[in-house]
């Protein structure tokens, strides 16, 4: 990337749509890459389908086993996560729209109010009956002690991580806010996302339709490459700090709603 690329000039409002690729350098596996979760074990995706999860105790048991020792619990933010924080500190108005559920943007130092978790978080468990939310650590303690299908202590209903499974809809309020942020940005950076999962991926089109520049940073082609001002195939941990350096001179932020 040329640090003087035209799309870096005059930008003070940045929205970042981040996917699994931004966290792979932290040891969190992606889903569709060469060593991705679904690539290595396509059948594992069934446990992440809402209908199957709710109907099949064996699928729930597999789901909880998967997350009991998931690398995300021990992961630390990498250079790409830190670069996002540096961009905010440079004076740009930054909002992160993340498809990730690992919480690494916040752990890197980005204020929670700057991060919109489109697909939820692994750090909370939600009861599918009464809706109560509790810290995930409590449920994982039960799983590691031998419970294969933990239930809500209050109502007895099935528990699930507070993440959006395949077959579930995104929260309407979250999606509406994400669209507002994308439309209000001057630049939308789509980083580490295959842009195959809708409606999150469509935020690229929302931004472009509203007049924003779109830059995609991803190893593989995406369905939205044709809309982008630039597509970068370089390693995320290397190119994102360079993008931040190019944008950092703009220090007159205008707020994104």
Binding residues for Zn(2+): 127, 130, 152, 155
Q: Is 70 a catalytic residue?
A: no
Burial class (CB in 10 A: 0-12, 13-18, 19+), 230: middle
- Please tell me which residue in 119, 123, 153, 226 is annotated as part of the active site: 119
SS3 159: strand
CA angle (40 as vertex; 35, 42 as ends), nearest 5: 135
Question: What is the helix (H) or strand (E) element at residue 233, kind and residue range?
Answer: none
Q: Using CA atoms, how far apart are residues 18 and 31, in angstroms rounded to an integer? A: 14
CA angle (199 as vertex; 5, 242 as ends), nearest 5: 20
Terminal Cα distance for the chain, rounded: 29
DSSP one-letter code for 149: S
Length of the chain in residues, anyone?
257
| Residue of 122, 121, 118 whose CA lies nearest to 97 | 118
Which residues belong to the annotated binding site?
127, 130, 152, 155
Q: Using CA atoms, how far apart are residues 50 and 28, in angstroms rounded to an integer? A: 22
Q: Using CA atoms, how far apart are residues 116 and 163, in angstroms rounded to an integer? A: 13
Which residues are designated catalytic?
A: 119
């Amino acid at each position: 990337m040329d640090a003087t690329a035209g799309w870096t000039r005059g930008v003070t409002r940045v929205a970042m749509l981040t996917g699994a690729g931004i966290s792979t350098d932290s040891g969190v596996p992606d889903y569709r890459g060469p060593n991705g979760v679904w690539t290595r074990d396509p059948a594992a995706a069934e446990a992440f389908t809402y209908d199957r999860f709710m109907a099949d105790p064996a699928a729930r048991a597999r789901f909880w086993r998967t997350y009991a020792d998931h690398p995300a619990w021990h992961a630390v933010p990498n250079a790409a996560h830190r670069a996002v924080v540096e961009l905010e500190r440079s004076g740009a108005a930054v909002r992160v729209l993340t498809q990730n559920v690992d919480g690494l943007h916040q752990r890197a130092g980005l204020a929670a109010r700057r991060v919109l978790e489109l697909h939820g978080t692994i750090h909370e468990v939600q009861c599918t009956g009464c809706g109560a939310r509790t810290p995930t650590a409590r449920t994982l303690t039960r799983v590691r002690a031998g419970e294969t299908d933990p239930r809500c202590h209050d109502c007895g209903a099935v528990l699930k991580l507070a993440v959006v499974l395949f077959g579930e809809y995104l929260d309407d309020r979250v999606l509406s806010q994400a669209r507002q942020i994308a439309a209000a940005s001057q630049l939308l950076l789509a980083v580490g996302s295959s842009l195959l999962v809708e409606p999150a991926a469509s935020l690229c089109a929302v931004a472009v339709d509203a007049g924003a520049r779109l830059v995609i940073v991803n190893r593989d082609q995406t369905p939205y490459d044709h809309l982008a001002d630039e597509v970068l195939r370089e390693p995320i941990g290397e190119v994102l700090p360079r993008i931040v350096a190019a944008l950092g001179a703009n220090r007159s932020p205008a707020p994104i709603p």
